């Protein structure tokens, strides 16, 4: 990939729509406009950031491909920081591909995934956390996730990292001086004085890291497996939570043999709900395979919702399911409270592990207790942090790892100070902490990391 050439891509999603956008970025953007665009009014010089109406024609011909609007944005005042041409055409796939084909025949390279945003980063239009937030904005599945991505795109995380970066640089500068002078000459610039300053940075990083469980799950989503023996109402509960008849519900045991997965918004978390086969002694190899997969899915779930039938006593299959999920995050839910009670709550609690939540008593058929179920499930997924509204949250595992590395280095620096080590050792650890913070904003990041990040972007962004 060369950042000195001109690139182009369709910037709107695949399919048919009212408007399609072709984006061209690089030094030949204006040349492409002059080559392919015929204005409905004579235009001698394109003014930056002004819309022009006309036709796109085949290069060197008078054949009209489409009636369009175009805008030329001259560097550095464009998304990429380069000269950028955007062509707004009709949203048919054939039309967009025809225009893109003419642009390519004019010597423009087709863009790779995320290449426009990568150029914006390399041209200092945005930092790396903002670049990642661009992809998060597009991928957001809930309002909470969208707000989080927008906060990062606006630079809130970058400003927070800068607030951590600045005092570390001050401490490092003082330590570098102390390497060449005695403590009597330096006074407050000595390593012991740096210890307290580092403690304030540690507290700030710890507060930021405390937001990561909520931030990461809002960004990435969570998985919840609904497990139970046949006919306890798993499919009915899935339908109730989705607000639609997604799963087939019958009184015949074993109706659900494979997984039914749907995503629902629970307190701002995109939750992938999985309706599963009923766990019992299987009657055939197909059912046995479905039950095996239930246990497999449960191992990787953020929460296993164990569903029981409240109109019947606890069965061996129920206790087997509770016991099999003892080491996992479990929410115990008792269904069919609209029927005559048959399940002893004390007996149930005696089989629940100390880590299990519940039991909650509901009716999937009539909706009783569903609001409470959603509230409790949301608290489990968000680790009871839903009401806290920090200015900045960590929502990216890469950012979390970088902060943890910076924190380890600062604590090592504090340990060196306590043990009376030479300022050189302390300075080295603080340099490592600064490097960790720089990974978040992209001040210090290698090409492989950049390629891995931007490869996940869509083409055209």
Mean pLDDT computed over 122-127:
94
Picking from 9-18, 407-416, 430-439, which range would have the lowest pLDDT averaged per residue?
Answer: 9-18
Measure the CA–CA gap between 144 and 58, rounded to whole angstroms: 45
Q: Which domains are assigned to the chain?
A: 7-127 (3.30.1360.120), 130-211+394-442 (1.20.120.430), 222-382 (3.40.50.300)
- Give pLDDT, residue 308: 93
Strand partners, 24: 8, 85
Average pLDDT, the chain: 87
Q: Mean pLDDT, to the nearest integer, of 45-70?
A: 92
Phi and psi dihedrals of 51, rounded to 5?
A: -80, 140
Distance CA 396, CA 442 (A): 14
> Which has more pLDDT, 210 or 4?
210
Give the model's pLDDT for residue 190. 55
Confidence (pLDDT) at 114: 93
pLDDT band at 257 (very low <50, low <70, confident <90, very high): very low
For 176, which DSSP code? H
pLDDT of residue 175: 80
CB 211 within 8 A of CB 387: no
Taking residue 76's Cβ as centre, other Cβ atoms within 10 Å add up to 12
Q: How confident is the model at residue 441 (pLDDT cuts 50, 70, 90)?
A: very high
pLDDT given for residue 249 in this prediction: 47
The pLDDT score that the predictor gives to residue 422 is: 84
Summarize pLDDT for 295-312 with one digit per residue, the tens: 777 888 899 999 999 999
Tokens of 275: 């309706």
Instruction: Name the pTM for this structure.
Output: 0.82
Instruction: Give the per-residue pLDDT at 459.
Output: 84
Q: In this structure, what token pair is assigned to residue 141?
A: 């599945």
**3-class SS at 55?**
strand
Distance CA 393, CA 382 (A): 13
Summarize the confidence of residues 27-42 as an average pLDDT.
Answer: 93
**Region of poorest pLDDT, from 230-244, 257-271, 331-345, 359-373:** 257-271
**What is the mean pLDDT of the segment spanning 155-177?**
90
User: Do residues 395 and 151 make contact, with C-beta atoms less than 8 angstroms apart?
Assistant: no
Helix, strand, or coil (residue 365): coil
Angle between helix 397-418 and helix 156-178 axes, rounded to 10 deg = 20
Instruction: Find the DSSP H helices in 210-337.
Output: 212-220, 234-242, 285-299, 316-324
Query: Tokens 């300053």 sit at which residue?
Result: 197
The rounded distance, in Å, linking the Cα atoms of 155 and 39 is: 39
> Has residue 233 got a pLDDT over 80?
yes
Q: Report the pLDDT value the prediction gives residue 458, as an integer from 0 to 100.
A: 86
């Amino acid at each position: 990939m060369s950042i000195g050439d001109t690139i182009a891509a369709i910037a709107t999603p695949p399919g048919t729509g009212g408007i399609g956008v072709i984006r061209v970025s690089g030094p030949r953007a204006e040349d492409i406009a002059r080559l392919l665009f015929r204005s409905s009014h004579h235009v001698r010089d394109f003014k930056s950031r002004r819309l022009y109406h006309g036709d796109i024609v085949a290069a060197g011909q008078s054949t009209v491909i489409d009636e369009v609007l175009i805008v030329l944005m001259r560097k550095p005042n464009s998304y990429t920081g380069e000269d950028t041409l955007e062509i707004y055409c009709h949203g048919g796939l054939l039309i967009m591909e025809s225009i893109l084909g003419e642009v390519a025949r004019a010597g423009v390279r087709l863009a790779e995934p995320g290449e426009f945003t990568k150029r914006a980063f390399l041209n200092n239009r945005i930092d790396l956390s903002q670049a990642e937030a661009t992809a998060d904005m597009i991928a957001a599945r809930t309002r909470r996730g969208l707000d989080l991505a927008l906060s990062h795109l606006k630079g809130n995380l970058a400003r927070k990292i800068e607030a951590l970066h600045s005092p570390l640089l001050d401490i490092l500068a003082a330590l570098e001086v102390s390497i060449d002078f005695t403590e009597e000459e330096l006074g407050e610039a000595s390593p012991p004085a740096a210890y307290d300053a580092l403690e304030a940075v540690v507290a700030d990083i710890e507060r930021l890291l405390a937001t990561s469980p909520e931030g990461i799950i809002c960004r990435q989503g969570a998985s919840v497996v609904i497990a139970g023996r046949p006919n306890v109402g798993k499919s009915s509960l899935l339908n109730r939570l989705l607000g639609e008849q997604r799963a087939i519900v019958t009184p015949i045991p074993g109706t659900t043999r494979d997984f039914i997965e749907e995503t629902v918004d629970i307190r701002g978390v995109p939750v992938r709900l999985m309706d599963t086969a009923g766990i019992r002694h299987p009657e055939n190899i197909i059912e046995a395979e479905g039950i095996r997969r239930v246990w497999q899915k449960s191992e990787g779930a953020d929460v296993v919702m164990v569903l029981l039938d409240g109109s019947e006593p606890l069965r061996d299959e129920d206790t087997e399911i509770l016991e099999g999920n003892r080491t996992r995050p479990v929410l115990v839910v008792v269904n069919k409270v609209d029927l005559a009670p048959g399940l002893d709550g004390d007996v149930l609690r005696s089989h629940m592990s100390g880590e299990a939540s519940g039991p909650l008593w509901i009716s999937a058929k009539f909706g009783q207790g569903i609001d409470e179920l959603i509230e409790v499930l949301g608290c489990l997924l968000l680790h009871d942090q839903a009401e806290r509204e920090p200015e900045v949250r960590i929502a990216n595992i890469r950012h979390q790892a970088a902060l943890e590395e910076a924190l380890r280095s600062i604590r090592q620096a504090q340990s060196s100070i306590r043990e009376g080590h030479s300022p050189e050792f302390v300075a080295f650890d603080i340099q490592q902490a600064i490097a960790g913070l720089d990974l978040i904003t992209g001040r210090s990041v290698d090409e492989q990391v950049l390629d891995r990040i931007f490869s996940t972007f869509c083409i055209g962004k």
